Amino acid sequence: MPSHKFQRFKRLLNASDYKEVFDHNRVKVANSYLLILAKPTKGAQSRLGLIIAKKNISTAVQRNRVKRVARETFRQKEFSVVMDIVLLARTGANRLSNEQLTQALNTAWSHLDARSQQQRVKHA
């Protein structure tokens, strides 16, 4: 039976991983609810880091819901380029229903994948 966990090797784990993405991101995707920064990496698998600020989403229940939906959509997405990704939730993301949030994230992942392929072509 396949594991549906968000395993350690799929996560950005420490501050230096996040700093690397913030300092050297090549691809950005933004909408009114999310900002996604990504940096191509030589790792075996894309990794995700989440920043869900208390000032943007005030209750822990809502922050955790946004994280859960983000992890699940990331887990189901296959990227054509291996990347380290940081997702930042903006104010108002908690007002979306789970279906709306899932759709916004899936759209953002698709845009991220398309832009990362363009970047790979430019720098090849």
> What's this model's pTM, rounded to 2 decimal places?
0.90
**Measured distance CA(41)–CA(118) in Å, rounded:** 15
The residue type of 106 is N
Written as tens digits, the pLDDT of the chain (124 aa) is 456 667 777 889 999 999 999 999 999 999 999 999 999 998 889 999 999 999 999 999 999 999 999 999 999 999 999 999 999 999 999 999 999 999 999 999 999 999 988 876 666 5
**Measured distance CA(55)–CA(31) in Å, rounded:** 18
- Relative to beta strand 47-51, strand 27-30 is unpaired
